[in-house]
Structure 1
Amino acid sequence: MKRSSRARLSATAAVGALSLALLTGCSDEGSADSEGSAGSAGSGDPGSSAAAPAKALSATELEKLLLAEGELKGFRVDPGDDSIPDSKADVSADKAECNPLVWSTSALPPGETDAGANNLVGEDPTGGASPTGPLTEEGVDMLMEMDMTFVGLSSYEGDGAEQAMKAVNDGVAACADGFAMTGEGDTSQITEVSAYEGTGQGDESAAFTMKIDMDGQGTAAFNTEVVRKGGTIATFYTIDFGSIGTGKATDIPAALIEAQIAKLK
């Protein structure tokens, strides 16, 4: 695949805070922080699924439900402390109805709750080896071939999880023509949002693709899947440095989604 200079710069800039951590040794603890049409339905619909818990899980309880290092073969797990926003106040859209989409892509709760936890799960191209020393050009190339997924868990009182899913689906439809997203002082222009068929995990799920203008250097496309199981919602957002600027979104690893949803109560 031909790589643009913008893509290479993006990969290099992310090495210290995000990618290198996945390659050089990972922690099994998550980081506690404290959303077309529907993408796809899971094994049941909102009315037939198990009732949401009377009390939402705490951030500490959610951390224990995140995938940990060694639980999924071929993947490494990192807390992502330097790569994931601390709170929903750090990222926003210029249209309120698009905020659930922005938060879902940032491993933050898409609905009304403060109970959240998140981490980063990346493919392990080293076969379990832990490279040391300065990052070489070969190492940068390796990172650019490596998919990384931001995983977020959030828990809700009553029907809060169902309402969060509705907000995601409503946002996909309302924001189809795009919106502006701001985070850490930078603004990106989302040019298009569209639903696609996801894995269908959990009691209810939705999946969408966002396309982002790269300031004249192409279009970046990213996939996000949001899954509800009972009163807990899991969000998955995958990035592949090598595909940035090509306009082609990277598939979220189905094995990762299945393994994470299997851990939820």
Structure 2
Amino acid sequence: MKRSSRALTGAAATVSVLSLALVTGCGGGSGADSGKAAASPGTGTSAATAPAAKARSAAELEKLLLAKGDVAGYDVDPGDDTLPKGKSAVKADRSACTPLAYAISGLPPADTEASANNTVTSQTSTPSPGALDGASVEGAFDIDMTIVGLSSYEGDGAEKAVEAVSDGIAACSGGFGIAAEGENLKITKVAAGKASGKGDQSVAFAVSSDMDGEGTATFTVDVVRVGSTVSTYYTVDFASLGSGKAATVPAAVLDAQVGKLT
């Protein structure tokens, strides 16, 4: 599908404002069965017998985030200009959907002060998302950008964080609204996805968004627990915006980040 310059420019502009609003110059979306982390195949995996580890500090998590050179073919950026400054900047209109909204924006899905996030972008000769303008936007969409979030919890907090995401998938299947950084987003559908099977516990879900008449954008979110630490991944594939094809988290990015947590 040929995308209008309005839709492309809108999607690109929002990248520099807020990761959640990557398509709000166009639209919002999410919906389907439960993604229980320890339930059915394809929705999640769990190692319930694993002992709970002590929570890592925010400083420790910063050091564990993917860094330059960790993933071949990808650039790593702190994401300071694109990611929400904190949970107060992201509000879901239904409490059950809050963990999903946080996971999408690289924030902890449950309560903790120990968190860190960044963005990992496929290398390209075109300008970075934050530098796009109307003249360069058409050639800058053959990239994908993944928002990576790490959070750590005491006791069984990490397991409960993943479970909160799983519960939210079923509860919010019909969609929900998000207010973030002055943007009002409408998630239209949430559906359980195929979990990665990595770490001690994993779950995945897809959110879909109507791009203001320019097609449907669908994004996959992966959540993986390793001991007391939860990692979240949300990828936008700019080349597939509006096509209806789901943007999936690159395996190389997920594998590299989980590897640094084990």
Same fold (TM over 0.5): yes
**Alpha carbons of structure 1 residues 181 and 136: separation in structure 2 relative to 1, 3 Å:** closer
1:167-207 per-position Cα deviation (integer Å, ceiling 9, x unaligned): 00000000001111111122111111001113211111111
Where does the alignment leave 5 or more consecutive residues of structure 2 unmatched? Answer: 20-33, 37-41
Letter in 2 for 1:7: A
Per the alignment, residue 259 of structure 1 pairs with 256
Per the alignment, residue 248 of structure 1 pairs with 245
Which of 144, 148, 152 is matched with 2:145 structurally? 148
Corresponding residue SS for 1:85 = coil
Which of 185, 188, 191 is matched with 1:188 structurally? 185
Deviation at 1:222, TM superposition (A): 1.2
**Alpha carbons of structure 1 residues 220 and 6: separation in structure 2 relative to 1, 3 Å:** farther
Corresponding residue SS for 1:252 = coil
CA distance in structure 1 between the partners assigned to 2:7 and 2:225 by the alignment? 33
Question: Is residue 64 from structure 1 mapped to residue 63 from structure 2 by the alignment?
Answer: yes
With 244-253 and 8-17 compared, the bigger mean Cα shift is at 8-17
Which of 227, 232, 235 is matched with 2:232 structurally? 235
Q: What are the equivalent positions in structure 2 for 1:33-182 lying under 5 Å apart?
A: 36-38=34-36, 39-42=42-45, 45-49=46-50, 51-54=51-54, 56-126=55-125, 139-182=136-179
Q: What are the equivalent positions in structure 2 for 1:22-41 lying under 5 Å apart?
A: 36-38=34-36, 39-41=42-44
Question: Is residue 9 from structure 1 mapped to residue 9 from structure 2 by the alignment?
Answer: yes
CA distance in structure 2 between the partners assigned to 1:61 and 1:135 by the alignment? 33
CA distance in structure 1 between the partners assigned to 2:245 and 2:93 by the alignment? 25
Per the alignment, residue 22 of structure 2 pairs with none
CA distance in structure 1 between the partners assigned to 2:231 and 2:256 by the alignment? 12
**Alpha carbons of structure 1 residues 144 and 180: separation in structure 2 relative to 1, 3 Å:** same
CA distance in structure 2 between the partners assigned to 1:18 and 1:262 by the alignment? 27
Where does the alignment leave 5 or more consecutive residues of structure 1 unmatched? Answer: 20-35
Structure 2 contact 15–82 (Cα < 8 Å) conserved: no
Structure 1 contact 188–212 (Cα < 8 Å) conserved: no
| TM-score, with structure 2 as normaliser | 0.84
Deviation at 1:18, TM superposition (A): 8.9
**Alpha carbons of structure 1 residues 62 and 245: separation in structure 2 relative to 1, 3 Å:** same
Structure 2 contact 204–223 (Cα < 8 Å) conserved: yes
Deviation at 1:215, TM superposition (A): 3.2
Question: Is residue 216 from structure 1 mapped to residue 216 from structure 2 by the alignment?
Answer: no
How much is the aligned-residue C-alpha RMSD, in angstroms? 2.4
CA distance in structure 2 between the partners assigned to 1:173 and 1:236 by the alignment? 19
Which of 205, 220, 225 is matched with 2:222 structurally? 225
Structure 1 contact 189–212 (Cα < 8 Å) conserved: yes
CA distance in structure 2 between the partners assigned to 1:237 and 1:64 by the alignment? 20
Corresponding residue SS for 2:3 = coil
Letter in 2 for 1:177: G
Per the alignment, residue 27 of structure 2 pairs with none
CA distance in structure 1 between the partners assigned to 2:95 and 2:16 by the alignment? 33
Corresponding residue SS for 1:119 = strand
